[in-house]
Each structure stands twice: as structure tokens, then as C-alpha cells.
Amino acid sequence: MAVRKSLVYLLEKAGYTAKAVEGPPQAVASLRTEVPQLILMDMNFSLSTSGEEGLRLLSQVKRMVPGVPVILMTAWGSIDLAVKGMHAGAFDFLTKPWDNLTLVHRVSMALELTASPAERVAPDESVQARHRIIGCSQALREVMQTIQRVAPTQASVLITGESGTGKELVAEALHAMSRRRGRPFVKVNLGGMSASLFESEMFGYRKGAFTGADCDRQGRFDAADGGTIFLDEIGELPLSLQVKMLRVLQEQTFEPLGDTRPHRVDVRVVCATNANLPLMVQQHTFREDLLYRINLIEVHLPPLRERREDIPLLVRHFASSQGMPDVSITDDAMQWLSSLPYPGNIRQLKNLVQRTLLLREGDRPITAADFRLHYESMPQVSALEPSSADSLQLDALERQAIQRALARYSGNLTQAALALGISRQSLYRRMEKHQIPLP
């Protein structure tokens, strides 16, 4: 009784209308008269702690209201029971005693991800307000379910996926739903860090460690102590530095430059890459032991072309972010946008939508022709023909190709390098050679 009352109070305080029933007979009777948007269900209703009562009730509930998400709760949680519940159709699984913030968050996420198109919240609410992870596709639901289950653990997570799929947002969500959410979340772009600065940036240094070290400096691992460190573009880390990264991830200790005393930290590690790390292991460009260390759990983000049903929601979200939540976009425009290949994924869609909205004239509805005009005017990497006789010189052509690639991919160095057919390190060297500033 006390547990039910506290749950009702918690959910009503969070803005939901909640109703509590005593046991399986009462739950079945209630479902015959009204269909809720979500069900929180205990797994045990007697002295038994096997969870079989909950599984039987879950089976009956899923037959009666198959579209309603069910979150299972038990004080006797186990992986086997959780797997059985998920196989039987449960949306999520929580153990008691629950964390109030986590419970409310998971309820909100379940409602958002399982709402019908007419019921889904506007982009400026719920998911957008929390983590800006927008979508309703089955592929994205599976990603979110993985995040929710993994977030409360201490497991290292590797987020994979093409450039522009939202890997950083997933890392932020993992931290926000973890027990470390009140502690620092430190982002590190390993692809943009030179090898000469790696140790001082990651581990810090002591005063006098080298010429110019006029004071102590805290490194990224120190800054993340107690929280989460997000190592983006882990595949760009040179082999010579991978062993140093492995040691600190394995032992959670390091020595700042100029200090021989081991420094211990407590950090959770989340990494991201658009590279094929297993293939890099085979090619001896990435350490196998480091891959095992960072890849306890993998979260793969599908490309936008594999979750096209999310595109209308994303378009509305980007319109809202431009202060135009009520802008009229025709059905043919949405259909055309949903048909594009999107090699740049969500980042490319965002660029196209925002450019079209910002340059629109008047208040008329936006059509497919409007989007097509701006899509066709976007720089194309393949257009490498010289614009003048002077451009026929090799250096000028190379500079032009790099600039167009950077413009085409909105300054994303990894994607630009892939388009040019060179490594990221090679792109850096060529940018330095041609005095092209970092975007």
C-alpha cells in the first residue's frame, strides 16, 4: 500500500495522472474499463519472489492492451528475469528501491517513444527538452531501450555509427541517466588533438614540467573525476598513444607530466567512432586489447536512411529550433525530404531545413521545390574541376578540393577526409600546408 501511494504521489508531482490497483484481478478489471498510456507493474504479489506472477500478468496485459508500454518493477531483479520480461513484451525493467529521477525519466521516455503520431509531443517538449534525441522509428526505440538499460551501470560504452547520426547526444543521454549525472561530463575530441599535446591535455602537468609550464594544469581525466569522460573519434587515436590510453582506462591511474606519483580517478568511459574498429584491429592500426576495454556494450546508431519515419519529426524539431514551430510544410515537401539519401545523416538534414527556413520569402507553405532549390545549391565535393586556368596547378586544385569538402560537410573533418579519400591525419597535414584554418 505504501509503495503504491508513493508511486502515485511521485508521478502526480511529475505532472501525470496515476491510478494504483492492488493486484492482478484488480488490474485486469481496470483494463476492461479504461486503457492507460503506460503500466508500471510489480513482478511479485505474494510471498513468492520468482517473478512468475508478474510474467503471467504481463502476458495477460499484452493480450488485452498490446500497444501499451509496460515497465516491470521488482526488488528481486535478475538478468534472467529481465530477459524473460523483455521477451514477453515489456518495455523496460526497474529494480526497487527505485531512483525517483530515473523512474520519472523512463516513464516519460516510454510514453514518448510509444506514442501514436497524433499523440507525440511537440519537439520543444519531453525528449527534446531532455536529450534532443528525436524520433519514433523502431530502430531508434531499440537504441533508446539499450541506453536506458545500460545507463545506470558502470559499463564502458562504445557508440558507433556514421558521421552526423547523433553519437554525442547519446553519450550525453547515457551520462544524464546514470548515477553520475550530478558529476562532470567531459567531452574530448581525439581526432582534433595533436599527438604532441596528448599527455598534457589528457593527464595535465605540474609547474616546471617543461618550458612554459608556469603553473599546474588539470587534465581531462582529472576534470572528469567522479563523472563521465566522452572520448569522441577514438578510432583517430594513433597507435603510439593507444597504449597510454589503455593503461589509464584499465587502471584508472596516470601521472601528470612532471609528477612521478600515480594519480587515481574514478571515471566512466564512453567512446564514439564512425570507423570500423574490428577491421582496424585486423589491419593492426587499432589495439585489440583497447577495443575490448572500451567495447563492453556497443550502441549502434543507424543512419538516417534506415529510419526515414523519423524525418518529419526531425524537420519539425529543426523548425522549432529556428523559432518557427508553426511553419507550414506541405506533404509533398515532407515526402521529398524523406526520399533523400542523406550521406551526412541528421547533420545534413538540419543544414538543409534551417537554410531553407532562414531564406524563405513570405509566409506561404514551404514546398518540395523550396527544399530542392537549396539542396541543389549545396556545395558538392565531387565538383573538383578547376574554376580558372590558374587552378590547374596541383596545389591550387588540392586546396580547392579541401575547401569544398569542408564546406560540403559543414566543417566535419572526418567526413571531409573520407570524401577526399585520405586519412584524417593527411587532411590535417594538407590543411596546414595550404594554411586552411580549422573550422
Question: CA-CA distance, 427 to 414, in Å (whole number)?
Answer: 9
CATH number belonging to domain 2-99+106-114: 3.40.50.2300
> Residue 133 in contact with residue 173, Cβ under 8 Å?
yes
DSSP 3-state assignment of 217?
strand
Beta-bridge partners for 297: 157
For residue 23, pLDDT over 60 is answered with yes
Highest CATH level, class, for 146-300: alpha beta
Question: CA-CA distance, 140 to 88, in Å (whole number)?
Answer: 20
- Tell me which amino acid residue 245 is: M
**What are 13-22's pLDDT values in tens digits?**
878 889 999 8
Kindly list the domain boundaries of the chain, sorted by start residue: 2-99+106-114, 146-300, 307-377, 389-433
For all residues of the chain together, what is the average pLDDT? 81
Tell me the HSE value of 400 on the side-chain side, using a 13 A CA sphere: 16
Note if the pTM is more than 0.75.
Answer: no
**What are 213-259's pLDDT values in tens digits?**
778 888 899 999 999 999 999 999 999 899 889 888 878 888 888 88
β-pairing verdict for 39-42 and 70-74: parallel
Task: Tell me whether domains 2-99+106-114 and 146-300 share a fold.
Answer: yes
User: Domain 389-433: which topology?
Assistant: Arc Repressor Mutant, subunit A (1.10.10)
Cα 118–chain centre separation? 25
pLDDT value of position 274: 92
**What are 260-283's pLDDT values in tens digits?**
788 889 999 999 999 999 889 888
β-pairing verdict for 185-189 and 228-232: parallel
CATH number belonging to domain 307-377: 1.10.8.60
The radius of gyration of the chain's CA atoms, rounded to the nearest angstrom, is: 25
Question: CA-CA distance, 247 to 252, in Å (whole number)?
Answer: 8
Question: CA-CA distance, 100 to 209, in Å (whole number)?
Answer: 47
pLDDT value of position 124: 31
Q: Which residue has the higher pLDDT, 368 or 96?
A: 368
> Residue 409 in contact with residue 344, Cβ under 8 Å?
yes
> Residue 186 in contact with residue 229, Cβ under 8 Å?
yes
List strand residue ranges (DSSP E) for 279-356, in order: 297-300
**What are 355-364's pLDDT values in tens digits?**
898 888 778 8
For residue 425, pLDDT over 70 is answered with no
